[in-house]
Amino acid sequence: MIDIDKIRAIDIHTHAEEPCGMHADDGYDELQAAMAKYFKAPWTHPPTIPETAAYFREQQIAAVIFPVDAERETGYRRYKNEEVAELVADHNDILIPFASIDPWKGKMGVREARRLIRDFGIKGFKFHPTLQGFYPNDTMAYPLYEAIAEEGAIGLFHTGQTGVGSGMRGGNNMRLKYSNPLYLDDVAVDFPDMKIIMAHPSFPWQEEALAVAQHKPNVYIDLSGWSPKYFPDILVRYCNSILKKKVLFGSDWPMITPDRWLADFENIAIKDEVRPDILKHNAARLLGLV
């Protein structure tokens, strides 16, 4: 339903967040407040999905949007995938639905993934190894990957350090080791037909991420979660050269707004002929919009 000719960019990485005040039993609001402080987010309460759609429509930017399911590791109840998908369907002129299933849910998660793809039009799944407490190459998660691959959906994986839990006591019990992008090399080998997106500049493992994306044809990188002014030089060089068709614009909304990200992107040394691919065309091809 998205008119590719009427949008100026595709944001591959935005979050669906329930409004604050709905999580008094599990501490999720405290986590959100800490993240907003870390990112200097310009809001008091996270935007709803309709508010997100209105913002992106005004900006003429299409957006992939998803919740994050990490119930086992964190105790935070999830924003149900079905609820998110139904709200996104009301705004399918601008929003593209992804979902999230905690891989520890085993066969129940596999059944849910197939149902979401077939009945709700879900295009991909967000994984956050640090938040969900697993190594991406743990074969525990392989039945879920198999379902995603067989159904032709995309796997989007958080990589690198995270603002989630940053500054909280003990990092809110979250372990950074799980999000080294090199573990996704195994996943790319074992599921060569599943499209994989490594989210974020992968500090402190940027070169590992670039190596995996260069070596494996089914692996892409999104640039969300960081202002472009902080991108390391090697990432900019790869964006301009051998990965120019495999790098994707992402903001990390609502923690970072697209207008802030795009303004900073204007001021870094990306070649003029490469910018349209990063901002729009690479994602359009990956998502099957063209």
Specify the pLDDT at position 164: 76
Domain that holds residue 256: 4-286
DSSP string, 51-73: HHHHHHHHHTEEEEEE----HHH
* Counted domains in the chain: 1
d(CA 131, CA 133): 6
Specify the pLDDT at position 24: 52
Taking only the tens place, the pLDDT of each residue in 61-75 is 999 999 999 999 988
Specify the pLDDT at position 165: 72
Specify the pLDDT at position 94: 98
Task: State how far the alpha carbon of 200 is from the alpha carbons of 6, 124, 156, in Å.
Answer: 26, 17, 10
DSSP string, 71-107: HHHH-PPP--HHHHHHHHHTTTTTEEE-B---GGGHH
pLDDT average per 10 residues of sequence, the chain (290 residues): 95 84 59 66 77 97 96 88 96 98 97 98 98 97 98 98 79 89 98 98 97 98 96 98 98 93 97 98 97
Domain CATH for 122: 3.20.20.140
Cβ atoms of 183 and 224 within 8 Å: the answer is no
Which residue stretches of the chain are H helix? Answer: 28-39, 49-59, 71-74, 81-89, 106-120, 129-132, 142-150, 183-190, 206-215, 233-239, 258-265, 275-276, 282-286
Taking only the tens place, the pLDDT of each residue in 155-210 is 999 999 887 777 778 877 789 999 999 999 999 999 999 999 999 999 999 999 99
